[in-house]
Amino acid sequence: MSLGYLIGRINFFGIKFGASAILIVALFFGHYGFEVPAFLSKIGLVLFLTPIGLMAGPDFVENIKKNGVSFLLISIVAAIVGGLTIIASVKIFKLPVSLSLGLATGALTSTSMLGTVNELTDSILPGVGYGIAYVFGVVGVVLFVQIVPKLLGADREVENAKLEIHSSKSSNKKIVDASKLITIEKSGLFSIAIAAFLGILIGMIKIKAGSAKISLGSGGGSLIGGLILGHIGNIGKINLRADKGILSAIRDLGLAFFLLPSGLKAGAGFIEVVSQYGIKLFFVGVLMTLITTIVSFLLSYKVFKLPLFGALGATTGAMTSAPSLGALLTVTEDDRVSSFYAATQPTATIFMVFLPQIIALLIGID
């Protein structure tokens, strides 16, 4: 993990891998049999998304009021485009449907979607596809959010100023004087714990959809829990705000904990899988990631006219890509982009979970 952090700080022609370099390093060590407990990934996801929800909460509701329909359509279009790439991979590259679905779960970094696929088939192919496409699914979007501002010649301060019109400062919500509130624990760890607990409970709620049951999972639930507490700010006289410095530190630690097990698991059979099924699987996964990411961004930026950093934030949410949000936060140095991620990620998660069932209805599944 330390080696990943060091590599992530190296500047490659103005681009940094950041915490995502942990994933790349983990792939190498995973190939040689290194392992960590699987639950570390879930803990990491909770520790990453809960602080994001808490930081995005104050701006989230106002953002939804102004751009709610846009965010919903961005999530829907991302799922539709992802579905079309699955069908295209089956028809053009003659891949098994279950393998194409697996590639899509990795390319779109949707573990929840993989769970749905596994409920539809007993084949090992979805897991194989996920392992092949996941790496670029993460790294590709991480690089995208760093390259696009450079290609467009974006000025960080100017673009951050454009986020201001989407902030909650224009909200009519009554602001409570923090000096009159009771702070139970100064660092904010109490607030994080409450939000995480609430989020885990939300994530456990399952809705039956046909033969499958869907849920937001611990990740999506933690984001929602953080958003709720972040928006409320206080319960009666009890202050639920947390220090941003603490939130940022825990967010970064959570991202590292999330990426490490994912990389080690994918690395365990990466070489063998590519040798068995061919390099075209990696190519198909790359296309799935790039096409869906580019379409989502163009819809956000060109059609719905979101500010550049906001459009990139909405894109990371539509791609359900927590690591790319981490990279975007490094680029912008402004936590307000998190509210754009938070506006699309939950709905995108839901649509992605339904997607395999729709594909199975349209073209069947092996």
Q: Write the DSSP assignment of 32-67 as a string of letters.
A: TT----THHHHHHHHHHHHHHHHHHHHHHHHHHHHH
Give the rounded percent of residues in the chain with a pLDDT score beyond 70. Answer: 82
Say what the pTM is: 0.70
Q: What are phi and psi of 234, to 5 degrees?
A: -160, 155
Answer yes or no: is pLDDT of 190 > 90: no
- Condensed to tens digits (0 to 9), the pLDDT of residues 348-360 reads 877 887 788 788 8
pLDDT confidence band for 63 (50 / 70 / 90): low
Distances (CA, A) of 4 to 8, 16, 29, 77, 91: 6, 12, 11, 34, 39
- Condensed to tens digits (0 to 9), the pLDDT of residues 12-52 reads 655 566 666 787 788 788 878 888 887 887 888 788 778 87
pLDDT at 168: 47
pLDDT at 3: 80
pLDDT at 134: 80
Instruction: List, as own/partner pairs, every contact residues 41-44 make where C-beta atoms lie below 8 angstroms and the sequence separation is at least 24, other chains included.
Output: 41/257, 41/258, 41/260, 41/261, 41/262, 42/218, 42/219, 43/254, 43/257, 44/253, 44/254, 44/255, 44/256, 44/257, 44/258, 44/259, 44/260, 44/261
pLDDT at 265: 74
115 or 60, higher pLDDT? 60
Give the DSSP H/E element, type plus range, for residue 207.
strand 207-209
Give the DSSP H/E element, type plus range, for residue 213.
strand 212-214
Residue 361 CA to chain centroid, in angstroms? 27
- Condensed to tens digits (0 to 9), the pLDDT of residues 67-122 reads 788 988 999 999 999 999 999 999 999 888 988 998 998 899 886 677 667 667 77
pLDDT at 295: 97
pLDDT at 73: 94
Q: What are phi and psi of 211, to 5 degrees?
A: -90, -10
Answer yes or no: is pLDDT of 319 > 90: yes
- Condensed to tens digits (0 to 9), the pLDDT of residues 198-224 reads 888 988 887 776 665 666 677 778 878
**Beta-strand pair 207-209/212-214:** antiparallel
pLDDT at 152: 94
pLDDT at 170: 45
pLDDT confidence band for 169 (50 / 70 / 90): very low
Answer yes or no: is pLDDT of 144 > 80: yes
pLDDT at 258: 77
Answer yes or no: is pLDDT of 176 > 60: no
pLDDT at 357: 78
- Condensed to tens digits (0 to 9), the pLDDT of residues 255-310 reads 788 778 877 876 776 677 677 767 889 899 999 999 999 999 999 999 999 999 99
